[in-house]
Amino acid sequence: MAAHAAPTPRRAAAGRDGMFHGGHSPLAMGIPMLMGIGYGAYAAFMARAGGPADYTQLWLAVASGVGFAAVMYVILFTQHRLSREQRAPLWGVFLGSAVGFLRGLGDFSIYRSVGFGLVIGAAVTVVLSYWWYTHEQPSDTTSA
């Protein structure tokens, strides 16, 4: 009679299967591509520094956008093979180096760019470690 009030087990948000595991849909292919386009456009904007646009910024935008999208694609489709303790630093290194590169394109010193990338990478690692720790089931369950 009171079965409708029983709590249901909580599902893992992404699980060990990864974000897009189970098929390569157009949306799954489009997310790294759109992020790469945005990253490349912002890289060209940072390299321009208010001056006129030229072909070197175009090539920088294409190269950095394709590189960002390719690395993001590989991480998204292979992260299900890693444990959550390995995935968080992987995303931290990726996003920290991406932000540090963009900061380095501006008129900042190399030390400020590296420091900013390290801070962002550490913050991403901590946040994702906490997120996956609280929203996933442990991957190495041992049975007695």
Average pLDDT in the chain: 83
Nearest residue to 84 via CA among 53, 30, 127, 54? 127
For residue range 64-81, list pLDDT tens digits in order: 999 999 999 999 888 888
Mean of pLDDT values over 116-125: 96
For residue range 10-61, list pLDDT tens digits in order: 555 544 454 445 556 777 788 999 999 999 999 999 988 878 888 999 999 9
Which amino acid is present at 49? A
Nearest residue to 96 via CA among 84, 113, 77, 81? 113
For residue range 11-20, list pLDDT tens digits in order: 555 444 544 4
